[in-house]
């Protein structure tokens, strides 16, 4: 497969263009492959978690950042994946891998159901509906027998840290690769961006906006479903207040926004920063609830001061080799 370097890019500054080169992407994930060899178990755990959040934030970014429709209940898909994998493994005895895949499909299917009536509309209806959906699922999981109600579900224990690290790496890598290929390199991505920038105009040039938005939403729900499944197997015990808690969505939003929405690397950067900051805060204050205030304040500040996120700030400041060379050429004229 060949890539045109000047093809469909969503970020236009040279910094990002360099980063989005598939070679670098590959190199990056390859180096992550070797990481566990050098890390203590604690740090492997942290790295796994960072990867998990990087995948989740990027998934949110597909609908929230690239398409411009805010899903305030995205954590629900994570929970659906966790419960689906759990139920399939515990009650039906399915193997983990198949359960995982099925979890992704189920999440995507639920996204279709939620998206169909709400994505025909503009504006806030979608945000409202997804949020209500998240609230609903938490309640449903508490009521149902099959989910174990408020007590939750115990999965077969599998204590193998590197396994979870690698599978998380694989899935998150797949998330980024898929999004890179579909959103930064294919017409699908152009169309999403056109919808975000001017929905009416997009429709006027033949973009079936409703169908494209629904597809994007399904895509953005698929990966959290899988990641939720992995998480369930990893932590072995799930209940409504763990995998369906409201702040999972909050974290996805803050990571994507802090890093920079609508960019490939923004959510990754956001996930790393937020996770590390959170760890430090835990060390300092212990596990309180004050972190919520900080998340909220971070979201507000990003909107007020750096709407393009950290990536946007970096773009403004980092040395841009290509542009510098261009400038030089102009001046020197050889």
Minimum distance, C-beta of residue 109 to another protein, in the bound complex (Å): 15
Scan residues 142-181 and list those touching another protein (CB under 8 A). Answer: 142-143
In whole angstroms, give the CA distance from residue 207 to residue 197: 13
In whole angstroms, give the CA distance from residue 219 to residue 62: 8
Minimum distance, C-beta of residue 298 to another protein, in the bound complex (Å): 8
Chain center to CA of 160? 24
In whole angstroms, give the CA distance from residue 176 to residue 187: 17
Scan residues 248-307 and list those touching another protein (CB under 8 A). Answer: 250, 253, 257, 262, 288-300, 303-304, 307
Minimum distance, C-beta of residue 205 to another protein, in the bound complex (Å): 3
Cβ proximity to another protein: between 125 and 163 the closer is 125
Cβ proximity of 207 and 59 under 8 Å: no
Does 70 contact another protein by CB under 8 A?
yes
Does 234 contact another protein by CB under 8 A?
no
Does 7 contact another protein by CB under 8 A?
yes
Stretch that binds another protein, among 27-35, 47-55, 205-213, 319-327 (CB under 8 A): 205-213
Cβ proximity to another protein: between 18 and 120 the closer is 120
Cβ proximity of 332 and 324 under 8 Å: no
- Kind and range of the H or E run holding 154: strand 153-154
If you ran DSSP here, which 8-state letter would residue 144 be given?
-
Tell me the torsion sign for CA atoms 250, 254, 260, 264: negative
Does 202 contact another protein by CB under 8 A?
yes
The CA-atom distances, in angstroms, between 242 and each of 50, 71, 150, 313, 334 are 17, 20, 11, 34, 63
Cβ proximity of 295 and 247 under 8 Å: yes
Cβ proximity to another protein: between 13 and 103 the closer is 13
Cβ proximity to another protein: between 173 and 262 the closer is 262
Cα atoms in the Cβ-side hemisphere of radius 13 Å centred on 23: 6
Does 5 contact another protein by CB under 8 A?
no
Among residues 32, 44, 127, 181, the one that binds another protein under rule CB under 8 A: 127
Minimum distance, C-beta of residue 226 to another protein, in the bound complex (Å): 25
Stretch that binds another protein, among 14-22, 162-170, 221-229, 244-252 (CB under 8 A): 244-252
């Amino acid at each position: 497969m060949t890539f045109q370097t000047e093809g469909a890019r969503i970020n236009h500054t040279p910094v990002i263009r360099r980063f989005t080169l598939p070679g670098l992407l590959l190199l990056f994930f390859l180096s992550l492959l070797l990481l566990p060899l050098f890390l203590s178990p604690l740090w492997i755990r942290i790295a796994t978690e960072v990867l998990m959040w990087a995948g989740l934030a990027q998934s949110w970014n597909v609908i929230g950042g690239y398409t411009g429709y805010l899903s305030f209940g995205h954590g629900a898909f994570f929970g659906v994946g966790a419960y689906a994998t759990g139920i399939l493994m515990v009650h039906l005895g399915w193997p983990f891998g198949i359960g995982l895949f099925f979890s992704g499909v189920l999440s995507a299917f639920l996204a279709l159901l939620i998206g169909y009536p709400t994505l025909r509309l503009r504006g806030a209806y979608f945000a409202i509906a997804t949020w209500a959906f998240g609230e609903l699922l938490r309640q449903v999981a508490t009521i149902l027998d099959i989910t174990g109600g408020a007590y939750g579900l115990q999965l077969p224990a599998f204590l193998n840290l590197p396994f979870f690290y690698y599978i998380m790496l694989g899935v998150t890598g797949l998330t980024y690769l898929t999004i890179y290929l579909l959103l930064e390199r294919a017409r699908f991505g152009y169309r999403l961006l056109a919808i975000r920038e001017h929905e009416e105009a997009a429709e006027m040039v033949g973009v079936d906006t409703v169908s494209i938005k629904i597809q994007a939403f399904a895509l953005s729900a698929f990966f959290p479903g899988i990641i939720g499944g992995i998480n369930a197997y990893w932590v072995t015990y799930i209940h409504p207040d763990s995998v369906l808690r409201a702040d999972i969505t909050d974290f996805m939003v803050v990571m994507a926004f802090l890093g920079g929405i609508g960019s490939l690397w923004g959510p990754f950067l956001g996930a790393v920063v937020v996770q590390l900051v959170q760890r430090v805060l835990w060390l300092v204050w212990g596990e309180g609830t004050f972190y919520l205030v900080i998340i909220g304040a971070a979201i507000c500040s990003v909107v007020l001061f750096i709407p393009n996120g950290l990536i946007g700030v970096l773009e403004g400041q980092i040395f841009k080799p290509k542009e510098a060379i261009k400038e030089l050429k102009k001046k020197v004229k050889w």
